[in-house]
Amino acid sequence: MRKYNVIADEHKRREREDAGPNMNMKIHFKALGLAAGLLWAFLPAARAQEISLAIGNNVPVQNALKRNLPGSNGNPSGAVRVEIRETTAGGGIAPPDPVTGEGSDANPLVRESYLGHDTIGIDPGLFSETFTGRLSTNITYYARVYDAPTPEAALYFANSATFSGPPSYVDSLSVTFGASQLVSGVADEDADGDGIPTALEEDMGLDPNSPDSDGDGYPDWFEGHFSEYMHASEKDPGLDLQINPPLADAANPHTVSWQTIPVPGMTYRLQYTDALPYEDPYVAEVWSGALTDTNKEVDVEDWVANSLYKGYFRVVVPYDGP
């Protein structure tokens, strides 16, 4: 049998030589076709593409002044740090090191990010991280945000509620951060009750025992919230109200005017009362609106002429703060 095979192979070789190059080409193509068929047969079946998971927050992260913590997409160096870490086996979260601010090895770091990552707008207080490899459904995780680009430079941090890796069909997960805590581990307090914690006031160079450090009549919280336009540590122009009597021409009305504060679009309310028997008697609103001009003047002739008693005017600037 062995000899027959050799002879048969030799016979086929001679037939190919007699047939010339075309025969060789046909056999070559047949060999390629066979190889391709074998390759296809042994390729593993293609796996279904796994859905990516996006983790982020929908509620902006703010400091005590209700200002979004800094960070915009594409600018990690100017943003505060965000981390996603594992909890301990029992679901525990260790506080950061009080000196370095670094997270504990008991909570392994899964992903480092920053506020603003993959989000829209300047300082939105939001972040989004995409995981192409799913988080484990058997492990619990949490997110941590600092108020500085590095843990070492941070004064405060906040943790989110814990969460597990969701089922494979879930493509997004939103976390909510809890209250801010001092990295140092000491209790946070507000010595002067102005809404700004003592540690933050000291960090800002303000007097933690005075709600108006520069004595200009504007609370530190108000000036800190509008820090692009006002200065909590130096005096800003006052909100001075003036009643203007008619000029020599009796046709001219009484007016009330005031110099506005340097915050564009600030809302003002001009109010009036003809007596002061109550704690807050200014129930009549003469005018209200948002202003960008540096001065506003309002005609109050009807209020003055129709009042039986001496009246009083005031300007109120409402704001969402303490």
* pLDDT at res. 6: 32
Distance from chain centroid for Cα 235: 30
> 74-127, pLDDT tens digit by residue?
999 999 999 999 999 999 999 999 999 999 999 999 999 999 999 999 999 999
Domain boundaries, the chain: 2-42, 50-188, 241-316
Q: Is the dihedral of CA 231, 235, 237, 239 positive or negative?
A: positive
Q: Is the dihedral of CA 210, 216, 217, 219 positive or negative?
A: negative
One-letter amino acid of 212: D
Evaluate if residue 20 carries a pLDDT over 80: no
Q: Tokens standing for 90?
A: 């029992």
* pLDDT class of 249 with cuts at 50, 70, 90: low
> 252-264, pLDDT tens digit by residue?
889 999 999 999 9
* pLDDT class of 282 with cuts at 50, 70, 90: confident
Q: Beta-strand (E) ranges in 15-138?
A: 53-56, 81-86, 109-114, 128-131
Indicate the range of 29-43, 105-119, 163-177 predicted with least confidence: 29-43
- Give the DSSP letter of residue 182: E
* pLDDT class of 176 with cuts at 50, 70, 90: very high
Distance separating alpha carbons of residues 129 and 82, to the nearest angstrom: 10
